[in-house]
Amino acid sequence: MGIDQEYRISLADDYVFKHCMEDVEILKPVLEKLWEKEIREIVEVKKQYHIQPAKDHKSISCDIYARDDRGNIYVVEMQKRPHKGLLERAEFYQGVTIYDQCDLDSALEYSDHPRCYVVFLCCFDVAKIYPTLDFPEFTRVKGCIYGEETKRFCNICNYALIEDKKLQELFKFILNSDTNLHASWYVVQLLQRKVRQMKGEDGMLEVLELNEDMINVIRAEGKFEGEKNGFEKGISLTNASIIMRMIQDQMNLSTIAKYVGLSVPEVEQIIHSVESRQ
């Protein structure tokens, strides 16, 4: 069965997003639009980039990780489901990535340390998950883009509120990647071409599924929690992480059950338990 018959290809899907955004020709202008600044050169791009500063440290996994020629770091995350810890997660990503970069170059002066820019592209109303924040001070485009100098959270569903037509076109295409939209920005045209290629290649199925490396990253995070909180709890947290990530990518329950070695009712129970805590 062809991939376009089994899946609705969407840039909002985690692995489709990573596959398309790792292209520097696409990523650089997207970053410049999101951060409203010129970037001279992107020298490194990694998708699903795993960073663990030390063996006993909590790790992070970035959808898209990039560095420019000045050493600055850019992390881009696609977020389909609301999560009340996004702000704290962004701060944690910044701390770990900067530490990692400084650790690679111990001769760095304080004034030369890299800056880390983190943006979450969200398919939900960001303001509703931060009721205690003073959003008038945090708002860049009311109802759509919130953030400060190095952290941003975008509700891409409200793309019509953005005055910048290129950014508006990008957000609209992320949400409607399987339809033939007219695109005037060359970046969106490049994305359309990539999506068409994916629809025509059965081999691209692996992009839409959790591969072995991705599962190992999640299991490593669960192992860390298990060592802290007990083996059984670590296994439960690992399974929950894998299941919710696969649900986010619209995989069916029988496929998920096969991956984690549980029955479908057990998978359903974990999903219900996680969603009830959110």
Tens of pLDDT, residue by residue over 217-233, are: 555 555 555 555 554 55
- Report the chain's mean pLDDT, rounded to a whole number: 79
Q: Give the Cα-Cα-Cα angle 129, 130, 134 (nearest 5 degrees).
A: 155
Tell me which of 93-102, 135-144, 268-277 is least confident. Answer: 135-144
Nearest-angstrom CA–CA distance, 244 and 252: 12
Tell me which of 136-140, 174-178, 184-188 is least confident. Answer: 136-140
Long-range contacts of 199-207 (CB under 8 A, 24+ apart): 199/2, 199/3, 199/4, 199/9, 200/4, 201/3, 202/2, 202/3, 204/3, 204/19, 205/3, 205/6, 207/15, 207/16, 207/18, 207/19
Q: Is this model's pTM higher than 0.75 or not? A: no
Tens of pLDDT, residue by residue over 18-37, are: 999 999 999 999 999 999 99
C-beta separation of 86 from 120 below 8 A? yes
Task: Please indicate whether residue 41 or residue 207 has the higher confidence score (pLDDT).
Answer: 41
- Is the pLDDT score of 6 beyond 50? no
Helix then strand then coil, % of the chain, to nearest 5 = 55, 15, 30
Nearest-angstrom CA–CA distance, 17 and 122: 13
pLDDT at 142: 81
Task: Please indicate whether residue 188 or residue 236 has the higher confidence score (pLDDT).
Answer: 188
Nearest-angstrom CA–CA distance, 60 and 250: 23
